[in-house]
Amino acid sequence: MSCLETIQAYGLRSIGIGERLLPREDFTLCQQFTLIGSGLIWNLYFAILALGFGFFLSQAMGLAKASPLPWLRKPAEWYILVFRGSPLFIQFFLAYFIFLEFKQAGILPWLTAAQAGALVVLILNTTAYSAEMFYGALQSVPSGDVEAANAYGMTGWTRFRRVIWPTMLRLAWPAYTNEAIFLFHATTLVFFSSFPAWQQRGDALYYANYFADKTFNPFIPYPILAGYFIVFTLLLVGLFGLMNRWLNRHRPGVVRRIRYRPQLIR
Amino acid sequence: MGLWWSFLTVLALLAITAPTALTFGFGGAVAARSDIALLRWLGKAYIAVVRGVPDIAFFLFFVIALDQGLEWTRHQITCPGWTEPIWQGNDFRVCDAAKLPLSSSPQWMHEVYGFFLAVVTFAIVFGAFAANVLYGAMWSVPDSQVEAAHAFGMTKRRAFWRILVPQMWIYALPGLSNLWMILIKATPLLFLLGVEDIVYWARELGGTKTEKFTSYPHGDWRLWYFLGLLIFYLAFTKLSEFALARLTRQLSRGRPIKAALA
């Protein structure tokens, strides 16, 4: 099989299009690049959707934590404590078994599938982590800004929308960039917790692991995986950097480059 | 019994990995600010590469890579007359004398070896993170401190050990405590490395008897085991947070730099 044919056969394998059987012997470099790249579709899917939902939910959660109303603040504090204090890996396991129970009871049976259930867990997790960041940013909005808004006669919603909220976003953005990177890296955990890779449609790490198991040679698939991840991480950093520039567009010369500071698993 | 043993495994891993990773980190940080260009590049590359790639990929990679690396080295030493290729299609084949652990050794040797690989893997990955923290901390120590040491006639080496190293810890502490939290939360990944840790047992004990049947005799117990694990980790992180806060208070006693630590 030529490389082009391999790409046609396996390029979209992870979403079930193309050849059904995975290669079993005589693995070529091309096959490894194609399949691992194809698995990356799932990593991007999880990362983009979880970030998309999490962005809005986490701001709501961060505001809830800063709320003076105890019935709003307490649940938010507990939620953040639980999701930040426990390993994501355990959360995946626990959630999967909860979803299994649901399935037994006939409620929302599709949640046991990775593309829905794991996405829910990732959204909940990133919401907790980013909520803490937005909360911290909210606390450090300069009081002078708020006072200036007061002096202009702004109150309530207008003051929040035009002064507090943009400042909060701007302050939280560098930390939020890092959160986005962790989340992207955390998507590799999905198929290694309980969620099954139905018909061997897995993510990039799933295929890398498949090749490492079959060839018993980790020195090829994992570096390929690492290369893909570094490229996409840099892309992510670039995109968030553009957003950072836009958020700080009124402060010429203040725009600092966001430091690329990836951290570990949660 | 295995369940309680596995809790000990996790705690032992934490107890051994933390100092090992710190040593790796110290080495990395010293290398990254070395005067010798090659060493500096090595240190920086170590920090950058490990931090840029998903950690799980590293965990999966290093366990096999270390195992094969060790066996390959032993193979070169013990069986010089071996002519067959080592990678034969789907197989990694070394001579029997180079197997690690030897196939004749008892079961506990295999387990200890697996645990050892896990510790080294964790230490390599977390060492890079610790290196980054310590590297930053070394730059945070005011220059005047080191300059004063030079003025007193201390050599470079002595100024490093007597002035820089004792002073950098307080700057490194926030980063290191963060790292400790992450390390705690990374321990469930031991399960992926093939060590029988608590995740393994939670799956086994809750799962085996019910897995095959569609009509469950009782609810799936794994749910409760994992809930227990979640609470265990929550309590553990909370406890550490408390202890680290105390340590920070104690170390920063009598220092005028409190504000910088916030």
Residues of B in contact with A205 (CB under 8 A): 54, 56-57, 60
Q: What mean pLDDT is reported for chain A?
A: 83
**Are A211 and A220 within 8 A, CB to CB?**
yes
Choose among B49, B129, B233: nearest Cβ to A90: B233
Residues of B in contact with A88 (CB under 8 A): 185
Q: DSSP letters of chain B?
A: -HHHHHHHHHHHHHHHHHHHHHHHHHHHHHHHT-SSHHHHHHHHHHHHHHHHS-HHHHHHHHHHHHHHHHHHHHHHHH-TT--S-SEETTEE---GGG-SS-TTS-HHHHHHHHHHHHHHHHHHHHHHHHHHHHHHHHHHS-HHHHHHHHHTT--HHHHIIIIIHHHHHHHHHHHHHHHHHHHHHHGGGGGGGT---HHHHHHHHHHTTTTT-SS-SS--THHHHHHHHHHHHHHHHHHHHHHHHHHHHHHTTT-TTHHHH-
Indicate the SS3 state at residue A150.
helix
A265, B186: Cβ pair inside 8 Å? Answer: yes
**Are B63 and B194 within 8 A, CB to CB?**
yes
**Phi first, then psi: what are they for A213, rounded to 5°?**
-70, -40
What integer is the mean pLDDT of B42-62? Answer: 78
Choose among A94, A214, A219: nearest Cβ to B65: A219
How many degrees, rounded to 5, is the angle at CA B60 between CA A85 and CA B84? 170
pLDDT band at B259 (very low <50, low <70, confident <90, very high): very low
- How much is the pLDDT for B15? 87
What integer is the mean pLDDT of B173-195? Answer: 78
In a domain, B113, yes or no: no
Of residues B100 and B178, more confidently modeled: B178
Tell me which DSSP letter residue A258 carries: P
Indicate the SS3 state at residue A257.
coil
pLDDT band at B260 (very low <50, low <70, confident <90, very high): very low
Cα distance between residue A90 and residue B234, in whole Å: 11
What is the radius of gyration, based on Cα positions, of chain B?
Answer: 23
* Stretch 28-57 of chain B: residues touching chain A, C-beta under 8 Å: 49, 51-57
Burial A45-62 (b: 16+ CB within 10 A, else e): bbbeebbebbbebbbebb
In a domain, B73, yes or no: no
Q: Does A188 touch chain B (CB under 8 A)?
A: yes
Q: Does A136 touch chain B (CB under 8 A)?
A: no
- How much is the pLDDT for B219? 52
Cα distance between residue A98 and residue A109, in whole Å: 11
Of residues A255 and B164, more confidently modeled: B164
Q: What is the dihedral of CA B13, B17, B18, B22, to 10 degrees?
A: 180
Cα distance between residue B143 and residue A54, in whole Å: 43
Cα distance between residue B127 and residue B49, in whole Å: 12
pLDDT band at A251 (very low <50, low <70, confident <90, very high): confident
What integer is the mean pLDDT of B13-34? Answer: 88
A208, B223: Cβ pair inside 8 Å? Answer: no
**Phi first, then psi: what are they for B91, rounded to 5°?**
-125, 145
* Complex prediction ipTM: 0.71
Domain with B188 in it: 2-55+119-206+221-261
- How much is the pLDDT for A20? 72
Q: How many domains does chain B have?
A: 1
* pLDDT tens, residue by residue, B119-159: 888 888 888 888 888 888 888 888 888 888 889 988 888 88
**Nearest Cα to A41, choosing from A12, A19, A61?**
A12
- How much is the pLDDT for A247? 86
Of residues A148 and A219, more confidently modeled: A148
In a domain, B18, yes or no: yes
Please check the confidence at residue A194 and state whether its pLDDT lies above 50.
yes
Q: How far is CA B230 from CA A183, A190, B188, in A?
A: 20, 17, 11
Tell me if the bond preceding A174 is cis, omega within 30° of 0: no
How many degrees, rounded to 5, is the angle at CA A195 between CA A189 and CA A201? 85
Residue tagged 């129970």 (tokens): A101
Cα distance between residue B200 and residue B237, in whole Å: 21
In a domain, B70, yes or no: no
CA distance to partner chain A, nearest, from residue B133 (Å)? 11
Residue tagged 């998309």 (tokens): A52
In a domain, B51, yes or no: yes
CA distance to partner chain B, nearest, from residue A206 (Å)? 10
CA distance to partner chain B, nearest, from residue A151 (Å)? 31
What integer is the mean pLDDT of A234-247? Answer: 86
**In terms of DSSP bridges, do strands B91-92 and B87-88 run parallel, antiparallel, or are they unpaired?**
antiparallel
- N-terminal to C-terminal alpha carbon distance within chain B: 44
* pLDDT tens, residue by residue, A78-113: 999 889 888 888 888 888 888 888 888 877 777 778
* pLDDT tens, residue by residue, A30-68: 888 888 888 888 899 999 999 999 999 999 999 999 988
Indicate the SS3 state at residue A23.
coil
CA distance to partner chain A, nearest, from residue B107 (Å)? 23
- How much is the pLDDT for B104? 64
Q: What are the structural domain ranges in chain A?
A: 28-247
Please check the confidence at residue B184 and state whether its pLDDT lies above 80.
yes
pLDDT band at B211 (very low <50, low <70, confident <90, very high): very low
The enclosing domain of B128 has a CATH number of 1.10.3720.10
In a domain, B67, yes or no: no
Please check the confidence at residue B258 and state whether its pLDDT lies above 60.
no
Of residues B115 and A46, more confidently modeled: A46
Burial class (CB in 10 A: 0-12, 13-18, 19+), B220: middle
In a domain, B197, yes or no: yes
- How much is the pLDDT for A261? 54
In a domain, B183, yes or no: yes
Cα distance between residue A235 and residue A225, in whole Å: 15
Which stretches of A23-110 are assigned E, i.e. beta strand?
none
B233, A82: Cβ pair inside 8 Å? Answer: no
Lowest mean pLDDT among A1-5, A175-179, A180-184: A1-5
CATH topology of domain A28-247: MetI-like fold (1.10.3720)
* pLDDT tens, residue by residue, B213-254: 444 445 556 777 778 888 888 888 888 888 888 888 887 776
Residue tagged 């990177």 (tokens): A181
pLDDT band at B2 (very low <50, low <70, confident <90, very high): low
What integer is the mean pLDDT of A230-255? Answer: 81
- How much is the pLDDT for B64? 77
A225, B220: Cβ pair inside 8 Å? Answer: no
> Which pair of structure tokens corresponds to residue A23?
């290669």
Choose among A89, A101, A229: nearest Cβ to B54: A229
- How much is the pLDDT for A48? 93
Q: Does A64 touch chain B (CB under 8 A)?
A: no
Of residues B122 and B5, more confidently modeled: B122
Cα distance between residue B230 and residue B83, in whole Å: 51
Q: Which distant-in-sequence residues (6+ apart) come within 8 Å of A40 by Cβ?
A: A203, A204, A228, A232
